[in-house]
């Protein structure tokens, strides 16, 4: 179980860091405005659009990865042990 926890924690910290950096660059208009969850600017070039897409991918990677390693895999292991 410690292995699954470590993998989930790695996904959470690594993916969360990338998401926070991209959110800070692209969706934080100012220090006193909404931070990390602000409006996505409309005048982005190709690299900006790719960064916003990567930001969304990283969010879902974190959510699905953490749920997989912290909930689904341990539940399947418990179910397998109970059925044996």
pTM of the model: 0.86
> pLDDT by residue (tens digit) across 22-55?
999 999 887 887 888 888 888 999 999 999 999 9
Q: Which two tokens stand for residue 27?
A: 């969706």
Annotated domain spans of the chain = 2-83
What is residue 28's predicted lDDT score, i.e. its pLDDT? 86
Neighbours of 75 (CB within 10 A): 10
CB 51 within 8 A of CB 26: yes
What is residue 69's predicted lDDT score, i.e. its pLDDT? 96
Whether 84 has a pLDDT exceeding 90, the answer reads: no
Distance from C-alpha of 42 to C-alpha of 49, rounded to nearest angstrom: 9
């Amino acid at each position: 179980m410690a292995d699954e926890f470590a993998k989930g924690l790695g996904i959470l910290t690594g993916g969360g860091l990338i998401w926070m950096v991209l959110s800070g660059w692209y969706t934080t208009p100012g220090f006193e405005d909404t931070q990390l969850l602000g409006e996505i600017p409309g005048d982005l070039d190709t690299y900006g659009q790719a960064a916003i897409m990567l930001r969304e991918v990283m969010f879902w990677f974190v959510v699905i990865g953490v749920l997989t390693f912290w909930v689904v895999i341990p539940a399947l292991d418990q179910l397998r042990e109970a059925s044996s």
